[in-house]
Structures are given as structure tokens and as C-alpha cells.
Amino acid sequence: MTDFNSLSFIVSDIMLSLQSFYYVNKFFQMPKYTLSVNNKQMSVEVDADTPLLWVLRDQLNLVGTKYGCGVAQCGACTIHYNGSPVRSCQFPVSAVGNGKVVTIEGLSENGDHPVQQAWIEMDVAQCGYCQAGQIMAAAALLKKNPNPSDEEIDTTITNICRCGTNVRIRKAIHLAASKGGKS
């Protein structure tokens, strides 16, 4: 027969195990974030320092945003954050807060943003890898400066294109600007 002392040992053992389970579980649990992406609320559970780029690509399957360098140099991962261009490879998910994130998938309903149309008309893309970032950077520029000079384009859009499409990018930005490209 179990006496009172053994019973209290068993109970305190169970309590300790439950407590450790709670803390271990809490330790390994990822924080949860609700993000506004392309005008939709989306929830993810990831480490606080996860770059937004990987949240977009791996958690939300928005793979239009590309990984190039991972150190905020190439611009392949450019998205809009509250309307400004941001290099998402160096932007931790914990910094997003209530800000609005727009990716290339959300720039326009049917891929018909004036910048996208100008890109098609000028046949800008070569391999295409950098182009989502270029388009996002160009759209953000035209929103701020509807008629940029060549110099303003060159100093603002520092995205790298290894295929050397920069001349066509500049022409396409002027074309989009001539058609009221900030919308």
C-alpha cells in the first residue's frame, strides 16, 4: 500500500515534470508574428532575427523576391516597407511590426503597374534574376520622384544587374515616368 509520504513524492515528481515540460516547450517555441503583406494579414512562427526575405520565401511562398548577396548590397531582395524600398535580407521579421510590406507579387493586381508595363515594352530583363528587385526599387523611386533625371536614377537605384541591363532599366524608368508611372 502506498503511504502518504510516497504519494506526495509521486505528486511532486509529476508536478516537477510538468513544470520542466512547460519551460522546455516555452524555450523552443518560436515567437509568432502577424504581418501585413500585400494587404493581407499573415501569421508566421519564426525566430525574431529571421530576415524578412526568408519569411516571404520560405514561410509565405512569395518567391518573387530573390536572394543575391544576403548583405544588403545587390538589391535582389528589395521589397516595399511602408512605401519605401528595403533590402529584406537584412530586415529582421521582428522589426516589421504593423508596417505594410509589399512584394513584387503585390505591386499590382495583374502585373500591370506602369513600371512593369514599361519593363515589358523596353524588353529590360535578360536572365531576370535581379529584375523583381529592380522593379520594386524603380516603383518606389517614381512614387517619390515622378520624373527623375538620369543622375537621380543612377544614385537612387543601386541594385546590381550582372547581365548589365542598366541602360534599359534607365530607359524603362523614363518611359514609365512619361506615362505617370507612380501609381
Gap between the Cα atoms of 33 and 42, Å rounded: 8
Position 67 contacts ligand FES (CB under 6 A): yes
Nearest distance from C-beta of residue 113 to ligand FES, angstroms: 18
Q: Which residues lie below 8 Å from residue 106, measured CB to CB, with a gap of 6+? A: 37, 38, 39
Position 85 contacts ligand FES (CB under 6 A): no
Nearer to ligand FES, 66 or 113 (CB): 66
| Site size toward ligand FES, by CB under 6 A | 23
Nearer to ligand FES, 32 or 164 (CB): 164
Position 130 contacts ligand FES (CB under 6 A): yes
Nearest distance from C-beta of residue 9 to ligand FES, angstroms: 57
Gap between the Cα atoms of 176 and 172, Å rounded: 6
Nearest by Cα to 135 from 109, 161, 162: 161
**Position of cell 517619390?**
144
Residues 155-174 that bind ligand FES (CB under 6 A): 161-163, 165
Element (H, E) at 79: strand 78-81
Nearest by Cα to 168 from 113, 131, 114: 131
Position 72 contacts ligand FES (CB under 6 A): yes
The residue range among 42-50, 75-83, 102-110, 143-151 that interacts with ligand FES, by the rule CB under 6 A, is: 75-83
Position 73 contacts ligand FES (CB under 6 A): yes
**Is residue 66 within 8 Å of residue 124, measured between CB atoms?**
no
Residues 15-44 that bind ligand FES (CB under 6 A): none
**Is residue 134 within 8 Å of residue 157, measured between CB atoms?**
yes
Output DSSP code: residue 42: E
Nearest distance from C-beta of residue 141 to ligand FES, angstroms: 16
Footprint on this chain of ligand FES (rule: CB under 6 A)? 67-70, 72-77, 87, 89, 125-131, 161-163, 165
